[in-house]
Amino acid sequence: MAFQQVKNTFLRSFIKGVSSTQRCNSSSGLFFGLSEEQKEFQELARKFTKEEIIPVAAEHDKTGKYPWEIVKKAHSLGLMNGGVEPEFGGIGLGILEGCIVAEELGYGCTGIMTALEANSLGQTPVIIAGNKEQKKKYLGRLIEEPLVAAYCVTEPGAGSDVNGVKTKAEKKGDDWIINGQKMWITNGGVANWYFVLARTNPDPKAPASKAFTGFIVERDTPGLTPGRKEINMGQRASDTRGITFEDVKVPKENVLIGEGQGFKIAMGTFDKTRPAVAAGAVGLAQRCLDEATKYSLERKTFGVPICSHQSIAFMLADMAVSVETARLAMLKSAWQRDHGERNSLSAAIAKCYAADIANKCATDAVQIFGGNGFNSEYPVEKLMRDAKIYQIYEGTSQIQRLIISRNILENAKQNM
């Protein structure tokens, strides 16, 4: 079925609520399957990845060129902005459907996937906290044109520790004036608008829950200056830059919810986006397994394919166990959020485990390829470089473990 036909079929059925009614709910027990509409959407993303992403992934890795052509095609097929509500031109996909897409895109190239999915990260604060006018203006813009948003929180001295954010916003009349510097902003140089977290309470002892405010800031606002594109170890197709704010004037209409609500919005965003990050890592790990399996069948030593050697066969088995386990953890975290359950713990587990196994699978794939795995003519060295960032962005693996340990200890204390 052609891309557009699959897209139209899926969108019609999803908007009518077919897919939603076929999802299992908390009282229906376990169901390890996708609806027909979800399968069609998965096939759409898989076909797009095979035909549009994989053939150009290596070139984008070498040049670092932002994949605008892929962004435009993905936008036209409905593979972007799926979480935007129908009222504002979207189709209101759940987190689970977003993860289905992210895994397929991650299989092709996590750098290109990050370029696409960072748009979801940037728009999620508006989805969960924007008023009707803000959603219509900024989400509607992303639906109408192949534009992207960016999430502007990380700073030189504030990564996992959001409370360390130094960027300040001061109220002057009906406007806010933002000054400060952000760094490692994905889509930083190509975004049409940004979600920006800034400190609005001057008291350094103010709790994070009251110290910050979330703003929507237009790219062409005077005083907003993207820095140079960073040349990273992996995921080079994504656009990562620092952003400087010098007396950037933002109207009060662009404040999300209200003053002091920024930290809540920023943290709430991660519960929705971390499952998709885990999905990208799962896609990369699956690609590592597939490439290693194929190579092990073709490469011969001592007169037999190397997969005939138990040492290699067991490596493949361990990779398969890891990929499947990570996928289940990711799907659970998405399912919980879609059904209104708190998923902070399951999202942290999914993101942490998927990030770790993506790196382990990439390392093992390189090992199975031997000397060829160390060569850029083969795909696994890129997978190894691309995998590392999953243990760093959207909360390091150490931060995920901190979230996990706090949750289990709190639960234990409550049950004592």
Q: Catalytic amino acids? A: 394
Closest CA to 379 of 290, 315, 282: 290
| Cβ atoms < 10 Å from Cβ of 375 | 12
SS3 assignment, position 327: helix
* Residue indicated by tokens 């797009």: 48
Closest CA to 241 of 231, 230, 251, 233: 230
Task: List C-alpha distances in Å: 38 to 57, 114, 341.
Answer: 26, 22, 21
| Cβ atoms < 10 Å from Cβ of 143 | 16
Task: Write out the H or E segment, with its range, that includes residue 332.
Answer: helix 310-338
Backbone angles phi, psi at 161, to 5 degrees: -90, 85
Cβ-Cβ contacts under 8 Å for 383 (sequence gap 6 or more):
284, 287, 288, 291, 362, 365
How many helical (H) and strand (E) elements, i.e. helices and strands, does the chain have? 15, 9
Q: Mind giving me the DSSP string for 5-73?
A: HHHHHHHHHHHTTHHHHHS--TTS-------HHHHHHHHHHHHHIIIIIHHHHHHHHHH----HHHHHH
Closest CA to 288 of 388, 397, 374, 387: 387
Tokens representing 40?
């069609």
Query: CA-to-CA distance for 199 and 165, rounded, in angstroms?
Result: 7
CB 316 within 8 A of CB 291: no
